[in-house]
Structure 1
């Protein structure tokens, strides 16, 4: 099956080859050998619900720049991220691996087992960022094809150099303040000048480039400019108005990045990919997020539109298939004519994006872990959910991973399997597992084939 989880084979391969020198498959250059490889712009929203865009049908939030991008792109309205938390989600985009494989399952080591800023805690932080060294990252793979690369915004895995970027903004751990982006978090909120300078340099050197644009937007603090907030203030609670304005502000900055590409006459040879790192449902009574959003495997946590634009090579239009951010890594490499590591769990979607043919996959998978990592060497110690979506069906399996500091906000209220019909019940209000034991058993088997759990147990059996 094309969607099989590579955990056992991948880890065995790591042991044999001792690092990131994988075997590779050469992807064809979509424009032919005579053409310069396309530039790549990766636009990554931070904490935004899947339907909080005009083009996704939101009645109030204004996103004209992303609306225009959608008109020019292959649009997957049923896109997903495998893990609904920023660090593991971004690490998946960087490496093309699920969190249970790349090992960065949460944002931080648990302070329960090592006091923050203690020597042991810092040692564990260092070990956690070392996991990226097990893989050849997206910018590293493109670098072997001659690409320059620039990191800005959210980034957790040390400095931009540690992630394989040739240029960037984040100093990263262990530098003071280096946790999830530090200097890079100014991008967008304080303009895009570092990106503009980088693009000028790449154009001058006639080099293809990768932009990792992952601004701290619409992420809290929700402090939008008054000129944008005033659009929403009168008709919504202030917490909602601020969040809506943040989505609007993020869209505005995406427009600035895309205009920069257009102004340099680079549009026709630039692949633009859009995704969000995880969902967010704004609380109407506070600045926090509501249940069943960030950190959870419900639609509010894992669903996102995913867009691909490459004029003349990717067909614009609505795509009805399921897709996942796990596919972004191999698809970008294919578009660049770069080498694709063998055994990646995601699909290279470029042939289908070019031809318009249906994607040959019927099921996507994901997993949820605690925000604070109980054991950085054992992902299953923090495992809370495994899930699968096939057609209209979505199955969540619940595990007894150690609860985290957000457990009171996102309790695992249903201990058994949860099955939803996403067509009839898109808000997942009705667990119909007990009425569809055959579907539960079928999807549970697929989940086990994808990611075999060795130690944790389901809280309630899924046997019909």
Structure 2
């Protein structure tokens, strides 16, 4: 283990990069000879601090810690929005929500007045249909991988109807509103109710002698927080409340399922030729005395909602290390995977290949955008725009939807938990970053 505490990670990271650099070059002949399996592991509602390797003193995540230690791990990294449906859509397409149009979890018009939950589901399905139709026209990673002969399988969270809408060959989510399809349906059973369906698909792909892409996005540690009792009892004396103990137990439960997946691939002799990518869709900070989340986490513009470690591991092809300096994004995942496979980058992607040292060094700014949970259009549903640099992060509220809020500015290097607003003290930085946001949106 390279460090049990976050501050130690930063020290080790700076030492490591002083000697070996931030990324590894991938020889062309290696790309031609190897076609790795690809496994995306996507956590659901977990704060960037809530891992052993990120310095959490009580929470145990040994399997993700091991992945982080053996992979190239970015710790100053973000998703472009802090809600699951748009975040997941960005992971699989490599573009901002304003481009893929999945702005929130549910699409409802101001005139919609559902009578009850059943009526709301019916209206939601009708309103969401154009969003799905638009999404089906986009270029997703599973669709791109077909050119390399990949089979693909979806499990867990998936908001865009049937798995086939994302280009997957097979999957667990049927997406039929009449049968309760909304955000994963049958797919949400993976992890919580065992791993057999996923393991069976891996066996199938191996029998077909085809490389495979797996989307493992379980409903973990997401609510309901109903962990195995043994894990709950483990954390109960360590946590400040029963609610926090349950959340911590859910995080370890998720980690256990990751270990099962990695161990299964190892048993099948596939670990050395599997590219693992780890990311969380959005953050979560557990309320101490209630079952919900704090206002500065999920659905918020703060780092507790948007920041996540991002890990890339492919043994012998990506040099391990902790990168605590470079800004990274979930939007980078698609172009990075394509680069590793020697595939051409399509037009319109918003991220970079993080294995390209020059591109990583040239990056100055990441952007974020947050919309209403029940959205209509970009213009009508926009809540916040963000620009993230080193060291500053700006949060710009949309005046139409957040009339009582003002621009906020934080030094996220000195103040990673965003406690001191510097907007009044640094008007020139505020102006500069607002101009960057406007330029980004006009591209």
Q: Same fold (TM over 0.5)?
A: yes
Which residue of 1 is the match for residue 414 of structure 2? 424
**Which whole-Å CA distance do the structure 2 matches of 1:345 and 1:414 have between them?**
31
Which residue of 2 is the match for residue 293 of structure 1? 297
Note if contact 1:368-1:384 (Cα within 8 Å) is conserved in structure 2: yes
Which residue of 2 is the match for residue 383 of structure 1? 382
**Which whole-Å CA distance do the structure 2 matches of 1:293 and 1:82 have between them?**
14
Which residue of 2 is the match for residue 326 of structure 1? 331
Considering only aligned residues, what root-mean-square deviation do their CA atoms show, in Å? 1.9
**Which whole-Å CA distance do the structure 2 matches of 1:29 and 1:132 have between them?**
35
- Residue aligned with 1:165, SS: coil
- Residue aligned with 2:388, SS: strand
Which residue of 2 is the match for residue 155 of structure 1? 158
Task: Give, in angstroms, the shift of residue 30 of structure 1.
Answer: 5.2
Gapped regions of structure 1 (runs ≥ 5): 1-27, 403-411, 454-464
CA separation of 1:433 and 1:233: change in aligned 2, threshold 3 A? same
- Residue aligned with 1:340, SS: coil
- Residue aligned with 2:73, SS: strand
Q: Deviations over 1:350-409 (max 9, x none)?
A: 334xxx995421111110111111x2xx2121101110111110011110354xxxxxxx
**Which whole-Å CA distance do the structure 1 matches of 2:49 and 2:57 have between them?**
10
Task: Give, in angstroms, the shift of residue 95 of structure 1.
Answer: 1.1
TM-score (norm 2): 0.89
Which residue of 2 is the match for residue 24 of structure 1? none
Task: Give, in angstroms, the shift of residue 235 of structure 1.
Answer: 2.9
CA separation of 1:401 and 1:94: change in aligned 2, threshold 3 A? farther
Which residue of 2 is the match for residue 3 of structure 1? none
- Residue aligned with 2:265, SS: helix
Match of 1:415 among 388, 405, 411: 405
1:107 aligns with 2:111: no
Which residue of 2 is the match for residue 225 of structure 1? 228
1:392 aligns with 2:394: no
Q: Segments of 4+ in structure 1 off by > 3 A?
A: 28-34, 115-122, 356-359
**Which whole-Å CA distance do the structure 2 matches of 1:317 and 1:242 have between them?**
32
1:168 aligns with 2:171: yes
Match of 1:317 among 292, 317, 321: 321
Task: Give, in angstroms, the shift of residue 175 of structure 1.
Answer: 4.2
Match of 2:185 among 162, 182, 185: 182
Which residue of 2 is the match for residue 360 of structure 1? 362
Task: Give, in angstroms, the shift of residue 111 of structure 1.
Answer: 6.0
**Which whole-Å CA distance do the structure 1 matches of 2:379 and 2:49 have between them?**
31
Which residue of 2 is the match for residue 191 of structure 1? 194
**Which whole-Å CA distance do the structure 1 matches of 2:206 and 2:41 have between them?**
20
Q: Deviations over 1:415-464 (max 9, x none)?
A: 221000112222111111111111111111111111149xxxxxxxxxxx
**Most deviating of 119-128 and 388-397:** 119-128
**Which whole-Å CA distance do the structure 1 matches of 2:268 and 2:185 have between them?**
29
Task: Give, in angstroms, the shift of residue 264 of structure 1.
Answer: 1.2
TM-score (norm 1): 0.85
| Structure-to-structure mapping, 1:18-417, within 5 angstroms | 31-32=29-30, 34-110=32-108, 112-116=110-114, 117=119, 121-236=124-239, 237-319=241-323, 320-352=325-357, 358-373=360-375, 375=376, 378-402=377-401, 415-417=405-407
**Which whole-Å CA distance do the structure 1 matches of 2:301 and 2:38 have between them?**
29
- Residue aligned with 2:250, SS: helix
- Residue aligned with 1:330, SS: helix
Which residue of 1 is the match for residue 440 of structure 2? 450
CA separation of 1:121 and 1:307: change in aligned 2, threshold 3 A? closer
Structure with greater proportional helix content: 2
**Which whole-Å CA distance do the structure 2 matches of 1:240 and 1:297 have between them?**
22
**Which whole-Å CA distance do the structure 2 matches of 1:121 and 1:256 have between them?**
36
- Residue aligned with 2:154, SS: strand
Q: Deviations over 1:111-168 (max 9, x none)?
A: 6432443765432121122121121211011012110001000001011112110111
CA separation of 1:300 and 1:414: change in aligned 2, threshold 3 A? farther
**Which whole-Å CA distance do the structure 1 matches of 2:356 and 2:178 have between them?**
42
Task: Give, in angstroms, the shift of residue 262 of structure 1.
Answer: 1.1
Which residue of 2 is the match for residue 457 of structure 1? none
**Which whole-Å CA distance do the structure 2 matches of 1:207 and 1:31 have between them?**
20
**Which whole-Å CA distance do the structure 2 matches of 1:326 and 1:34 have between them?**
25
CA separation of 1:222 and 1:121: change in aligned 2, threshold 3 A? closer
CA separation of 1:29 and 1:159: change in aligned 2, threshold 3 A? farther
Note if contact 2:108-2:123 (Cα within 8 Å) is conserved in structure 1: no
CA separation of 1:163 and 1:115: change in aligned 2, threshold 3 A? farther
